[in-house]
Structure 1
Amino acid sequence: MDENSSPADRFAEHRPRLRAVAYRMLGSLTEADDAVQEAWLRLERADTGEVDNLGAWLTTVVARICLNMLRARATRREEPLEVHMPDPLISSPDAIDPEQEALLADAVGLALLVVLDALTPAERLAFVLHDMFAVPFEEIASMTERSPAAARKLASRARRRVREAAPTPDPDLTRQRRVVEAFFAAARRGDFAGLLAVLDPEVVLRADGGAAGGRPTFVVRGPEAVLGQAMIGERFAPLVRPALVNGAAGVVVAAGGRTLSVMGFTVADDRIVAIDVLWDPDRLTHLYLGPLAEGGAEN
Structure 2
Amino acid sequence: MTTPEPAHEFESHRPRLFGLAYRLLGSAQEAEDTVQDAYLRFSGADRAGIEHLGAWLARTVTNLCLNRLTSARARREEYVGEWLPEPVVTSDGTLGPLESAQAREQVSMAMLVLLERLTPTERAVYVLREAFGYGHREISGVLDLSEANCRQLYRRAVGRVAVAKTRFEPAPERREELVASFITAAREGDLAGLEKLLAADVTWWSDGGGKVTAALRPIEGREKVARFAAGAAQRFAVGLEYTVVEVNGASGVASWAGDTLVGVVGFELVDGLVACVWAVMNPDKLDHARRRLSR
TM-score by length of 1: 0.81
The match for 1:209 is: 208
The match for 1:253 is 255
TM-fit CA distance, 1:154: 2.5
Distance, in Å, in 2 between the alignment partners of 1:170 and 1:14 is 32
Cα distance 1:154–1:202, how it changes in 2: closer, same or farther (>3 A)? Answer: farther
Query: Once superposed, what is the RMSD of the aligned Cα atoms?
Result: 3.1
Residues 18 and 95 in structure 2, CA contact (< 8 A), matched pair in contact too: no
- The aligned residue for residue 265 of structure 2 is 263
Query: Per the alignment, do residues 120 and 42 of structure 1 end up closer, same or farther by CA in structure 2, a change over 3 Å counting?
Result: same
* Superposition pairs of residues 133-152 of structure 1, within 5 angstroms: 133-141=132-140, 144=143, 146-152=145-151
Percent identity, aligned pairs only, is: 36
Q: Is the 8 A contact 1:20 1:103 kept in 2?
A: no
1:110 maps to amino acid: M
Contact 1:214–1:280, Cα closer than 8 Å, also in 2: no
Structure 2 CA distance for aligned equivalents of residues 214 and 264 of structure 1: 18
Letter in 1 for 2:43: E
Q: Give the letter aligned to residue 123 of structure 2.
A: R
Deviation, structure 1 residue 210: 0.7
Moved more, 237-246 or 50-59: 237-246
- Structure 1 stretch 272-281 or stretch 60-69: which is displaced more? 272-281
Q: 1:45 to 1:207 in 2, by over 3 A?
A: same
Secondary structure at the residue paired with 2:35?
helix
Distance 1:166 1:120 in 2: 23
C-alpha distance in 1, partners of 2:45/2:37?
A: 12
Distance in structure 1 (CA, Å) of the matches to 2:151 and 2:292: 42
SS of 1:254 mapped into structure 2: strand
Q: Which amino acid aligns with 1:260?
A: V
Q: Which residue of 2 aligns with 1:125?
A: 124
Q: Distance in 1 between matches of 2:167 and 2:59?
A: 28
- The residue correspondences of 1:64-103 to structure 2 (distance < 5 A) are 64-79=63-78, 83-90=82-89, 96-97=91-92, 100=94, 102=96
Offset of 1:56 from its aligned partner? 0.9
For structure 2, the residue ranges without an aligned partner over 5 or more in a row are none
SS in 1 for 2:131: helix
Give yes or no for contact 1:196–1:223 (8 Å, CA) kept in 2: yes
Q: Which residue of 1 aligns with 2:196?
A: 197
Query: Residues 81 and 119 from structure 1, CA distance in 2 versus in 1: closer, same or farther, beyond 3 angstroms?
Result: farther
Instruction: Report the TM-score, using the length of structure 2 for normalisation.
Output: 0.82
Cα deviation, 1:246-282, whole Å, max 9, x if unaligned, reads 3421112223444332101111221111110011244
Task: Note the C-alpha offset of 1:287.
Answer: 4.7
* Counterpart position of 2:277: 275
1:134 CA displacement: 1.6
**Per-residue CA shift, 1:79-104, capped at 9, x if unaligned?**
4665322221237xxxx336x25386
The whole-number CA distance in structure 2 between the counterparts of 1:101 and 1:144 is: 23
Alignment of 1:144-183 (within 5 A): 144=143, 146-164=145-163, 167=166, 170=169, 172-183=171-182
After superposition, give the CA deviation of every residue in 1:137-161 in whole Å (9 maximum; x if it has no partner): 2343355564323322322333344
What residue identity is the alignment partner of 2:48?
G
